[in-house]
Structure 1
Amino acid sequence: MSQDLLEIAGIAHLPESTPAGVVLLAHGAGGDRDSPMLQRLCQEWSRRGYLAIRYNLPFRRRRPKGPPSGSGTGDRDGITEAIGYVRGLADGPLIVGGHSYGGRQTSMVVAAGGVAVDLLTLFSYPLHPPGKPERTRTEHLPTIGVPTVFTHGGSDSFGTGAEIRAAAALIPAPHEVVEIPGARHDLASKTLDVPTLAVDAALRLLG
């Protein structure tokens, strides 16, 4: 069962009983809250007893198509507001993250230290532009103080498995990399259940 959260342009997937915690996931630069991967992730989290929410970032609320523009400050403000909003919806751990751009911006919000969350879950983290490995987006990673899961495709042009593991090692908190062999940036896999693997890793780090 799902429910609209108009305040954050979100859709909540409700568990069958009292939520064990809350999961808040943002989309990538070319997508929106209805991306197939976000839907499957939220379904899996709700199956595990969590209130799982996928929502549109501010740039996507302004226009239905097209990439974000500018520095991302407005989107980070929207992420901060969304975290504050969902915190009051249920007790238990608060898990935040997202796919590609949405995950990166969320990780920057967490690194800035203005929000209290329990775990960061990043899907297809855009470590560098395709073909430009020298332009890594890692400056903020050493200031992330919460457990972090990277779920990454083995054929993702935004970062190799080795590059992602090196980036994850910059985080001083517990971290894990879930590599999906053969998967590209969309994390589609014909052989592996990506949402199950990602949720398993997150729950391991939560202890």
Structure 2
Amino acid sequence: MTSTSPTEIDAIAGVSHHPDGTPRGGVALTHGAGGSRESPMLVALCDEWARRGFLAVRYNLPYRRRRPKGPPSGSSAADIAGIVEAVATVRALVDGPVLAGGHSYGGRMTSMAVADGLALDVLTLFSYPLHPPGKPERARTEHLPRITVPTVFTHGTADPFGTLDELRPAAVLIGAPVEIVEVTGARHDLGSKKLDVPALAVDAALRLLG
């Protein structure tokens, strides 16, 4: 149980989930291309982080702030800038480590921000879109060698945006410790009736945090 109800952070279109007592650190998580901060997975992840003693914030990317539905529009640079702003906002609220990431597009944009110098303690990526479905030749990995932050990939074994066999060599490109959390049978939404995906992802991130 958390000590307070989730609260709004208007500057980043965010919702914060509060732990009991002083936060051990902060987490900023964002959504996939068709989603929003109300994604059930983001809500579950933030609840799990709060149970572990962290202030967890789920927030909308700039394109989602402009319109409530639809795919990303406009410049990806604007979304990356929104991620940098969200991380800075969370960092100002806590004393301790700061982690960030997101689902699919949101995770990819966060990884690009990290590759460009955004400082984090751990990067946590959910259903990283290695390539468009059915188009493995269009790999989205060229920036990964510039990431030097410990990274968790939480990935379904039936994800059409990339197989585990494709993910493993991509993860090795990162110049820092990496963990891959395999979610057996899950597709891109990471839905699972057998596994507690938020708990497994948080466990892996805490291991990398040390």
* Separation in structure 2 between the aligned mates of residue 17 and residue 187 of structure 1, nearest angstrom: 31
Is 2:159 aligned against 1:156? yes
* Residues 111-152 of structure 1, C-alpha deviations (whole Å, 9 max, x = no match): 101x22111000000000000011110011001011000000
Please tell me whether residue 73 in structure 1 is matched to residue 84 in structure 2: no
User: How many angstroms apart in 2 are the aligned matches of 1:9 and 1:26?
Assistant: 11
Identity score, percent: 69
TM-score by length of 2: 0.97
Structure 1 residue 97 corresponds to structure 2 residue 101: yes
Mean Cα displacement is larger for which, 68-77 or 53-62? Answer: 68-77
Q: Tell me what 2:68 maps to.
A: 64
Residue 117 of structure 1 corresponds to: 120
2:186 is equivalent to residue 186 of structure 1: no
Q: What SS does structure 2 have at the residue aligned with 1:88?
A: helix
Can you list the C-alpha shifts for 1:56-80, whole angstroms capped at 9, x where unaligned?
A: 0000000000000244111011111
Contact 2:30 2:60 in 1 (8 A): yes
Q: 2:43 aligns with which of 33, 36, 39?
A: 39
Between 63-72 and 9-18, report the one with greater CA deviation: 63-72
Counterpart position of 2:6: 2
Matched, 1:12 2:16: yes
Of stretches 41-50 and 73-82 in structure 1, the one that deviates more from structure 2 is: 73-82
Q: Which amino acid aligns with 1:78?
A: G
Structure 2 counterpart SS, 1:202? helix
1:12-31 to structure 2, matched below 5 A, reads 12-31=16-35
Is 2:148 the counterpart of 1:145?
Answer: yes
Shift of residue 203, structure 1, vs aligned partner:
0.4
TM score, norm. by length of structure 1? 0.98
User: Equivalents in 1 of 2:137, 2:73: separation in Å?
Assistant: 22
Secondary structure of residue in 2 paired with 1:109: helix
Whole-angstrom distance in 2 between the partners of 1:116 and 1:195: 23
Which 10-residue stretch deviates more, 65-74 or 46-55? 65-74
Q: Distance in 2 between matches of 1:45 and 1:151?
A: 15
Deviation (angstroms), 1:2: 1.0
- Which amino acid is the alignment partner of residue 144 of structure 1? I
Separation in 1, partners of 2:73, 2:62: 11
Instruction: Give the letter aligned to residue 168 of structure 1.
Output: A
Matched-pair contact (CA < 8 Å) for 2:63–2:74: no
Q: Distance in 1 between matches of 2:77 and 2:40?
A: 26
User: Which residue pairs with 2:132 in the alignment?
Assistant: 129
Cα RMSD (Å): 0.7
Unaligned runs of 5+ in 2: none
Q: Which runs of 5+ in 1 are unaligned?
A: none
Aligned to 2:199: 196
Paired AA for residue 60 in structure 1: R
